[in-house]
């Protein structure tokens, strides 16, 4: 909107620069979060939308986090609202990538909201069934993939880190299965990471910042040719979206840092995971999720391995508790130590992912 008004109406060339609009998008999202946050938290308290932590469902977790009982959840609404407003203000709304990303972001946010609402209503930590959540996530991924098939006439290539050219020039209809794997995996991985104050918010901001940089590089002919990466002119607006997401996460972290005043819930975690997956798919850097999102991968793998070990080894466990951050809590690490150390690892993973660009 601002892009249209300043650049097309008044011919203010400053508005055409992606970097300027990135600063505007990040600043707007963060300021809106700081302004709206206190009001939203008060409303959630008044409505008694608190996080349920029942002793009978998970005794070890209750011992660790019983002081968080009743902390407002569904705070992801704040992230979604500020990202949406900031993106609509600063992005070029003619760009199809913006609308595709927002569509997935809002759809998964709505799914998470329903899940959170059921948890609060039932006063337990179980909302939608896993099969129900997976089914909706798959439907969203399929719709995204089909749309991409029709708006990308030149094909959908697959790029692998450390390899100069595309491994597959056009994935064809396999792109649907690939999209399901990436979107469902990313959204659930961040959902599993959301277990400690500030953990999911901080690690997500770091990963999105890295993908924002990748989107900026991919949108420029000079840098994409120099680094031998996929070039997409439409990716420039994903940089604006990424900046809005980072600003919103930082604003939310103001209230979500230990001791948290509000939790994002599935409303925020599913939406953030999905939008990271979408950005990765749009700029053809989805394989880098394994590196840039190293913390999320480790969290998801810890749950998968724990379940597999429990079922295949007669109840034996690999970790004291899964996801991985709870394992370290059970080892005696203070919550703040776990969070800060995971954030450090997230920064290292993001830098490692960006460093792969020079190895192609």
With vertex at residue 94, the alpha carbon angle to CA 91 and CA 98, rounded to the nearest 5 degrees, is 55
Distance CA 28, CA 172 (A): 39
Q: What is the pLDDT of residue 183?
A: 97
0.75 exceeded by pTM: yes
Sign of the alpha-carbon torsion through 240, 244, 247, 250: negative
Cβ within 8 Å of residue 290, ≥6 positions away: 297
**Mean pLDDT, to the nearest integer, of 323-329?**
92
Task: Give residue 199's pLDDT band: very low, low, confident or very high (50, 70, 90).
Answer: very high
pLDDT tens digits, one per residue of 219-233: 988 888 888 888 888
What is the Cα–Cα distance from 235 to 224, expressed in whole angstroms? Answer: 11
Identify the weakest region by mean pLDDT among 10-19, 189-198, 256-265, 304-313. 10-19
pLDDT of residue 14: 61
Give the residue-averaged pLDDT of 65-90: 90
Under 8 Å between Cβ of 266 and 76: yes
Across the range 45-74, mean pLDDT stands at 73
pLDDT of residue 244: 98
Q: Which residue has the tokens 């420029």?
A: 220
Comparing 206 with 13, which gets the higher pLDDT?
Answer: 206
DSSP 260: P
Q: What is the structure's pLDDT at 50?
A: 73
pLDDT at 4: 58
**Sequence-ordered alpha helix ranges (H) in 54-171:** 59-65, 76-90, 96-122, 130-151
Q: pLDDT averaged over the chain?
A: 89
Give the model confidence (pLDDT) of 13-31 as tens digits.
Answer: 566 788 889 999 999 999 9
pLDDT value at residue 152: 85
The one-character DSSP state at 9 is I
């Amino acid at each position: 909107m601002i892009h249209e008004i300043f650049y097309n109406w008044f011919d203010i060339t400053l508005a055409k620069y992606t970097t300027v609009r990135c600063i505007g998008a990040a600043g707007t999202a963060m300021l809106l979060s700081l302004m709206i946050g206190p009001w939203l938290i008060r409303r959630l308290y008044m409505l008694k939308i608190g996080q349920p932590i029942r002793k009978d469902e998970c005794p070890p977790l209750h011992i660790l986090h019983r002081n968080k009982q009743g902390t407002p959840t569904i705070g992801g609404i704040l992230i979604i609202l500020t990202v949406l407003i900031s993106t609509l203000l600063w992005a070029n709304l003619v760009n199809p990538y913006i609308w595709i990303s927002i569509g997935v972001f809002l759809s998964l946010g709505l799914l998470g909201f329903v899940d959170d609402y059921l948890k609060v209503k039932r006063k337990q930590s179980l909302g939608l069934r896993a099969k129900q959540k997976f089914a909706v996530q798959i439907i969203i991924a399929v719709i995204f993939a089909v749309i991409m098939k029709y708006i990308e006439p030149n094909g959908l290539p697959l790029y692998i880190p450390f390899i100069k050219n595309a491994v597959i020039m056009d994935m064809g209809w396999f792109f649907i299965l690939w999209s399901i794997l990436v979107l469902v995996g990313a959204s659930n991985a961040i959902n599993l990471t959301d277990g400690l104050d500030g953990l999911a918010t901080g690690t997500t901001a770091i990963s999105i910042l890295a993908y924002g940089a990748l989107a900026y590089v991919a949108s420029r002919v000079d840098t994409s040719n120099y680094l031998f990466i996929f070039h997409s002119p439409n990716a420039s607006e994903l940089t604006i979206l990424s900046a809005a997401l980072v600003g919103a996460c930082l604003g939310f972290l103001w209230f979500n840092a230990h001791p948290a005043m509000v939790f994002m819930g599935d409303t925020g975690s599913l939406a953030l995971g999905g939008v990271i997956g979408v950005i990765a798919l749009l700029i053809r850097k989805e394989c880098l999720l394994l590196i840039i999102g190293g913390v999320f991968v480790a969290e998801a793998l810890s749950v998968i391995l724990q379940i597999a070990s429990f079922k295949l080894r007669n109840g034996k466990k690999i970790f004291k508790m899964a996801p991985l951050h709870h394992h370290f809590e059970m080892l005696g690490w203070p919550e703040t130590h776990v969070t800060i150390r995971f954030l450090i690892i997230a920064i290292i993973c993001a830098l490692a992912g960006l460093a792969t660009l020079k190895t192609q």
